[in-house]
Chain A
Amino acid sequence: MKRKIGIFVIAAILAISMVGCNKATKDSVPSSSSSVAPATNAAETSKPAEKKETKTVVLATISGYYSTALKEAAEAYTKLHPETKVKIDIIKDNAAYKTNFDAKMAAGGDNAPDIVHTNLVVQPDPTEYINKGWLLKLNDFVNEPNPYNDGKTVFEGIDPAYHQNSYDNNGNVANVPFDLVGTGFYYNKDIFDKLGLEAPQTWEDLLADSQKLKDAGYIPLAMPYQSSESWMHTAFIDWSAQSVYPELLILPGDARYDEKVDSKNTSIKYSADNPMFDFGAVYDPEKVLNVIKDKKYDNQGPAEKKWWTTLKDLSQFYEPGYATMDDNSVYSLFISQKAAMFWSGSWQVGTLLVDQQKLKDKSFKWGTFKFPKFAAEDPLFPGSPRGILVPGHTLGITAKKDQEQVERTKDFMKYLYSKDVAQKIFERTLEVGEFVQGPSLVLGVELPAAVNDYLTGFKVAGNMSYALTNISEGVSDDKPASDANRLDFYQGKLTVEKFLENKAKFAQKLADKQIAENKYDLDPKTNP
């Protein structure tokens, strides 16, 4: 009798557990009311409505990341396709997002989300995840007609200037961009007006204005030092090293050359006057690594000395405690008008608009301005600094064995990338006070005029490239030591020469690691 009771109790526990698991994975469809209308032509153009097995497509996002509008789009899609439920899985933050995806893929991938923000899991380069077989190659997908977007191919519905950002190092399409994200300076117009200042256009003006703001008792610049200062580094590297890019391209005769993907490379020529000169460029990782050995880019050279010294000067105007201050505290200095300027991203525009409404009579006028030039022409920095305006929200598809699951995931992706649905997602996100990353890359989507005005500071010419970022300041497993090196330099404990020498060692270590891990022979003519 006792034995029977024991078995019964265990069976009951197991049954309850299994019901719980089943419920969590299959029935968690959002229940909020739908505001994102289905695309008008979708029903007619989608696949025949034969009775199919119900499947659940999971899109993983993070809190506030278009999450409300995505949930509504998911509901609208399910109404259109009752056989496919779409679950928007909201994960706490960026770190948890990557960990969650990595762990689920390592466990076989069956429970992994079907659609992921590749910008959160594989930045800066998706090659590794494509090679591991974790992300699907979207080479064919982007050229398939999108039934929700007047039959245009997926890529035809996306701003062509940003197609290049979809490729991995081997020329495979790893993701599809949804919007732009960029960084720039926000400034408090009321404070600037009070002190008779204009939005600075040059680094020299920026430093002079910062001194005036400091003298007037303000924190001149709220800088998210731990998270976002690095965008400035990449902009400077790109500005000074663009002429090297043509030598890094995958060209005919190289082992990686693929006519379909890399043919654009053959027509790329450097021009300081053309910020779009490298549009469509796909770089060879071995050529990039050879840059150090061949001394085509000097990561301790005069350009690096100049821009790092400029940043050191600027750091004297950062908020007190910038070295360890979290991003929310940095933002609070700007919104409370303690700081007159704020270096941040276009994603903050939506939040600022909402916060200004909440501030009522304590609100203030604000604007944005671009990453500045130097006052005098300098051959080390030809042309103009290029835009820190790159695709932000990029979606990729998880490689799963269930082909039907993959097909349904692709169909939902197409739905998201239709003009009407994307427009609704942007509108609804602004309406509920969540943040849009920046301008949409889905062609035909328009943002409200007020939002566009505030995005002016982020609309810059050209696309800066990350091709040489790791050559300048790549870090393998020495991030704390690298951070300490930069801080010591800013605080005057290191000369610029010693700082750059230390930094170059970190970059070399990362290069050595990449060479070893990928078994590169540094000969682009041979396949590693």
Chain B
Amino acid sequence: MKKYAVSYTLISPSVAFILIFMYYPLLSALFHSFTKWDMVTTHWIGFANFGRVFSDSIMGLSVSHQLIFTLTDLLKSIIPPLIVAELIHLLKGKRAKYLLRTGFVLNMLVPGMVGTLLWLSIYNPSYGLLNQLLKFLGLSEWTRAWLAESGTALWAIVMSGFPFISGVSFLIFYAAIGSLNNEVIESSRIDGANGWQVFTKLHIPMLTPQFKVLIILTIIGSLQDFVKVIVLTNGGPGTATVIPAYTMYGAAFASSEYGYASAIGTCLFVVILGLTLLNMKFLKTKW
């Protein structure tokens, strides 16, 4: 023990901060999810908040919206970055590779909020780029108030961020493709495999660990993310784009129902923890 005294001493402030600012709020939220809490008085109400979470008609709707967001987020975080990483990997010129690689990673420097506000402007029904483009193409009848019609709002949020080349996903795939076992790939080519076969029969199975990491990160990020909803539609029109995290935020900071918000947060935590445990289990691969 004495031997590691300095190490323990140096690490203790970090541990203290983590305990105070991460684990204490977590435990506090867990406790308060069983209470009616307005930040001054706390009344124990057992599972009433959880009962309300599961009986709330809006919550059912918001879970269905969340499923759509999460499934589409998964597709967006895997397919376009993988395709782009493969295509750049196939290029011959080092300079072109470097330029394109840099180009796709540079967008990581733009804060996510800026991108979201840009899409808010693109979707503006009166002067937004999308409607102006449709009018220019003679498709005026296709113009919409994309974020304000219940039939299009949710899908407009899904499509924001097009063409969905996330810098992180792209880098993960690009680095992994570059380090794949070349001997196996070359052998397959000698055996007559074409590019498509190499991609589907070799690359994709060999990239399984990367898929697993990205899947779990995307699911967690998707469940936690409500910024797009707040900025683009504020949950509307009506209830067309409400999601659980947005409901939690509203319960806490609009209605001061911190106990109920804690219960929603606890449910989200349990879902995320469950998915993380699944991730840990499935990550035990030979790769």
Contact A321 B236 (CB under 8 A): no
Q: Which residues of B contact A106 (CB under 8 A)?
A: 39-40
Tell whether A305 is near chain B: CB-to-CB under 8 Å. no
Contact A6 B238 (CB under 8 A): no
| Contact residues, A307-347 vs B (CB, 8 A) | 319-326, 329, 333, 336, 338
Residue from the list A10, A103, A132, A324 in contact with B237, Cβ < 8 A: A324
A321→B150 CA distance, assembly (Å): 10
| Contact residues, B141-179 vs A (CB, 8 A) | 145-150, 153
Contact A320 B126 (CB under 8 A): yes
Task: Categorize the interface residue count of chain A.
Answer: 35 or more
Show 28 residue pairs from A and B whose CB-CB distance is below 8 angstroms, ordered by the A residue.
Answer: A2-B5, A3-B5, A5-B6, A6-B5, A6-B9, A10-B9, A10-B13, A95-B253, A102-B39, A105-B40, A106-B39, A226-B236, A321-B146, A321-B148, A324-B153, A324-B234, A324-B236, A326-B234, A329-B124, A477-B255, A477-B257, A478-B58, A479-B255, A480-B247, A483-B238, A484-B240, A487-B236, A487-B238
Report the nearest A residue to B255, measured CB to CB: A477
CB distance from A259 to the nearest CB of B (A): 31
Tell whether A488 is near chain B: CB-to-CB under 8 Å. yes
Q: Which residues of B contact A10 (CB under 8 A)?
A: 9-10, 12-13
Contact B6 A338 (CB under 8 A): no
Interface string of A104-139 (1 = CB under 8 A from B): 011000000000000000000000000010000000
Contact B126 A333 (CB under 8 A): yes
- Judged by DSSP, the binding face of A is helix
Tell whether B21 is near chain A: CB-to-CB under 8 Å. no
Tell whether B125 is near chain A: CB-to-CB under 8 Å. yes
Q: Which residues of B contact A132 (CB under 8 A)?
A: 40
Closest 7 CB pairs of A and B: A484-B238, A321-B145, A106-B39, A6-B9, A323-B237, A321-B148, A320-B125
Interface string of B9-28 (1 = CB under 8 A from A): 11011000000000000000
Tell whether A99 is near chain B: CB-to-CB under 8 Å. yes
CB distance from B136 to the nearest CB of A (A): 18
A320→B148 CA distance, assembly (Å): 8
Tell whether A461 is near chain B: CB-to-CB under 8 Å. no
Contact B9 A480 (CB under 8 A): no
CB distance from A101 to the nearest CB of B (A): 11
Beyond A102-B256, A323-B236, A477-B255, 14 additional pairs, beta carbon < 8 A: A6-B10, A10-B9, A10-B13, A13-B13, A102-B39, A320-B125, A323-B145, A323-B238, A338-B127, A478-B58, A479-B254, A480-B58, A480-B238, A484-B238
Tell whether A481 is near chain B: CB-to-CB under 8 Å. yes
CB distance from B168 to the nearest CB of A (A): 28
Tell whether A43 is near chain B: CB-to-CB under 8 Å. no
Q: Which residues of A contact B232 (CB under 8 A)?
A: 324
Q: Which residues of B contact A9 (CB under 8 A)?
A: 10
Contact B126 A319 (CB under 8 A): yes
A510→B127 CA distance, assembly (Å): 40
A191→B255 CA distance, assembly (Å): 42
Q: Which residues of A contact B34 (CB under 8 A)?
A: none
Contact A219 B58 (CB under 8 A): no
Report the nearest B residue to A219, measured CB to CB: B126
Q: Which residues of A contact B233 (CB under 8 A)?
A: 324
- Judged by DSSP, the binding face of B is loop
Contact A103 B39 (CB under 8 A): yes
Q: In the complex where A9-B10, A479-B250, A483-B238 touch, is A325 in contact with B148 (Cβ < 8 A)?
A: yes
A487→B234 CA distance, assembly (Å): 14
Q: Which residues of B contact A324 (CB under 8 A)?
A: 145, 147-148, 153, 232-234, 236-237
CB distance from A193 to the nearest CB of B (A): 23
On A, residues with C-beta under 8 Å from B are: 2-3, 5-7, 9-10, 13, 95, 98-99, 102-103, 105-106, 132, 219, 226, 319-326, 329, 333, 336, 338, 477-481, 483-485, 487-488
Tell whether B102 is near chain A: CB-to-CB under 8 Å. no
CB distance from B199 to the nearest CB of A (A): 41
A103→B236 CA distance, assembly (Å): 28
Tell whether B242 is near chain A: CB-to-CB under 8 Å. yes
A7→B5 CA distance, assembly (Å): 10
CB distance from B145 to the nearest CB of A (A): 3
On B, residues with C-beta under 8 Å from A are: 5-6, 9-10, 12-13, 39-40, 57-58, 120, 124-127, 145-150, 153, 232-240, 242, 247, 250-251, 253-257, 260
Report the nearest B residue to A17, measured CB to CB: B13
A487→B5 CA distance, assembly (Å): 65
Q: Which residues of B contact A481 (CB under 8 A)?
A: 57-58, 239
Contact A320 B145 (CB under 8 A): yes
A336→B124 CA distance, assembly (Å): 14
Contact B239 A484 (CB under 8 A): yes
Q: Which residues of B contact A483 (CB under 8 A)?
A: 236-239
Contact A480 B239 (CB under 8 A): yes
CB distance from A236 to the nearest CB of B (A): 22
Q: Which residues of A contact B149 (CB under 8 A)?
A: 321
A5→B9 CA distance, assembly (Å): 10
Residue from the list B5, B148, B238, B257 in contact with A322, Cβ < 8 A: B148
Q: Which residues of B contact A321 (CB under 8 A)?
A: 124-126, 145-149
Residue from the list A2, A102, A488 in contact with B238, Cβ < 8 A: A488
CB distance from A3 to the nearest CB of B (A): 5
A159→B64 CA distance, assembly (Å): 53
A106→B37 CA distance, assembly (Å): 11
A325→B146 CA distance, assembly (Å): 11
Residue in A98, A319, A480, A484 whose Cβ sees the most chain B Cβ within 10 Å: A480
Report the nearest A residue to B231, measured CB to CB: A326
CB distance from B39 to the nearest CB of A (A): 4
Contact A99 B236 (CB under 8 A): no
A481→B250 CA distance, assembly (Å): 13
Report the nearest B residue to A2, measured CB to CB: B6
CB distance from A154 to the nearest CB of B (A): 29
CB distance from A151 to the nearest CB of B (A): 39
Report the nearest A residue to B251, measured CB to CB: A477
Residue in A2, A5, A9 whose Cβ sees the most chain B Cβ within 10 Å: A2
Q: Which residues of B contact A3 (CB under 8 A)?
A: 5-6, 9
A420→B155 CA distance, assembly (Å): 56
Report the nearest B residue to A322, measured CB to CB: B148
Q: Which residues of A contact B13 (CB under 8 A)?
A: 10, 13
CB distance from A128 to the nearest CB of B (A): 9
A316→B125 CA distance, assembly (Å): 15
Residue in B40, B146, B147, B153 whose Cβ sees the most chain A Cβ within 10 Å: B40
A481→B124 CA distance, assembly (Å): 24
Report the nearest B residue to A3, measured CB to CB: B5
